[in-house]
Structure 1
């Protein structure tokens, strides 16, 4: 559990002023603030930094003005929620990439929160601040369709986990969905090997993919290398960024990412690597057109 000072530091990081009792409305406020303020990102992976996924290390990561990907974000958020009095459960999950089959392979940590409803009956909520551009608010663990800003989500039974559930992404989004197993985990040991692969292996899909994603009330932002995609309602505008100064401004102003753990030399090295990867991507794209 976090101390009161640690809770305050975390809440300040995501722009929440007050500690409140564990209500549904406060859970929604926390979730919205978290996805707006703490982006999903592969920055440390591209930079060659291995960042631990223990909950206390992840809380320190967030509180110091940094961020990470699902294991860090959902791990830290679950610790904050527990410290505030919420009943939180960890679940194995798997994100389905475009063109591939659904799976539960522990490459994603999913959360549920149980709260009493207006009739004092327990109701479970899907809580996930570690999926980048989904969702903006908690979703009830009830089958159906849910509209959040410019995104339409569906909660359906999972086809790959008995008694599990699936969160389907918007049809125009970056991946089809995520499947979640119903069993409740008591440690994060299940995810350590996966994290080691994603963050350190040269075969990791993120080893050379600089990717930052963030949700807000009416849409989302993504910075993929040097391409900034802004989605509002059903429209997406893409902008190529060609200078480090603008790239840094977008990271800071849009994604709240100030690269606080990087020296000037390291920030320059990171930009040069990202720009080199971007030019390589453009050459490959041009070759395909030919």
Structure 2
């Protein structure tokens, strides 16, 4: 084990404003996921800053904890998996494909989610801190009924024509959101998906920089030069003028300190 890992885990908990749980149970998992979603932004800024995206435990912890940045699904859920394992949870990486426009599925390894086991006889749980506006609480992976969440009404169902493979669809408010494969994966399996999303013109991540996180009562998002705030059903848009105002918004709303903006050609 990395001799610095205990100190890094303490710093990780401080980063998300969470106490070390007394035991790895469902209540602790719910608290950790919510605090992570509020504290650590979903962002694709590395793509537009020309930074490498390294899917290794140490690099992910360095980005989220030491550099106090966010990331996209592979980075956020990858780092969260390290935190949960260090706290005694049993964690398996799962690959998923996102249902896009018209129900079309994204590429294999489009998304990473986490299967989490706890020591209280509940679960297993589907935990996810890397999908942007999604479930705030872990979902019961084996429950096929409606699961109420601040993010909507979720349901996990067998995917059509995929019963033998065990694939599952995660639906929100009746609409398919993710096609989840239940076979265990390792972090290196997601490198091809991460490469696609950081290089392909067909990936929405390459089109414009975005930084977004949950708030206690909604969501706040900075995309290009627009700051979007959602509280309940109310949505407010604030245009930002100069570069300094955009950099200040990254600092004040997301804790992200940049010395330059993401590529100006990508700002809208």
TM-score, length-normalised on structure 2?
A: 0.87
SS in 2 for 1:144: coil
The equivalences for 1:136-151 within 5 A come to 136-141=136-141, 142-149=143-150, 151=152
SS in 1 for 2:134: coil
SS in 1 for 2:191: helix
- Write out the 4+ residue segments of structure 1 that deviate beyond 4 Å after TM superposition: none
- In the alignment, structure 1 residue 183 sits paired with structure 2 residue 183: yes
Which residue matches 1:99?
102
Gaps of 5+ in 1: 279-290
2:135·2:151 contact (CA, 8 Å) conserved in 1? no
SS in 1 for 2:118: strand
2:134·2:151 contact (CA, 8 Å) conserved in 1? no
Q: How far apart in 2 are the matches of 1:41 and 1:169?
A: 22
Alpha-carbon RMSD across the aligned residues, in angstroms, is 2.4
Q: How far apart in 1 are the matches of 2:131 and 2:161?
A: 20
What do residues 142-165 of structure 1 show as CA deviations (whole Å, max 9, x unaligned)? 123333335333333323643222
SS in 2 for 1:213: strand
Please report how far the alpha carbon of residue 34 of structure 1 lies from its aligned counterpart in structure 2 after TM superposition: 0.7
The structure 2 residue matched to 1:27, chosen from 26, 29, 33, is: 29
Q: How far apart in 2 are the matches of 1:26 and 1:200?
A: 37
Please report how far the alpha carbon of residue 102 of structure 1 lies from its aligned counterpart in structure 2 after TM superposition: 3.4
2:55·2:188 contact (CA, 8 Å) conserved in 1? no
Q: How far apart in 1 are the matches of 2:220 and 2:257?
A: 16
SS in 2 for 1:238: strand
2:144·2:156 contact (CA, 8 Å) conserved in 1? yes
1:149·1:233 contact (CA, 8 Å) conserved in 2? no
- In the alignment, structure 1 residue 228 sits paired with structure 2 residue 230: no
SS in 2 for 1:137: coil
Q: How far apart in 2 are the matches of 1:218 and 1:155?
A: 25
Q: How far apart in 2 are the matches of 1:214 and 1:155?
A: 24
2:109·2:192 contact (CA, 8 Å) conserved in 1? no
The equivalences for 1:147-166 within 5 A come to 147-149=148-150, 151-159=152-160, 161-162=162-163, 163-166=166-169
The structure 2 residue matched to 1:40, chosen from 18, 42, 54, is: 42
Q: How far apart in 1 are the matches of 2:200 and 2:169?
A: 28
1:241·1:247 contact (CA, 8 Å) conserved in 2? yes
The equivalences for 1:237-256 within 5 A come to 237-256=236-255
Which residue matches 2:15?
13
Q: How far apart in 1 are the matches of 2:257 and 2:160?
A: 40
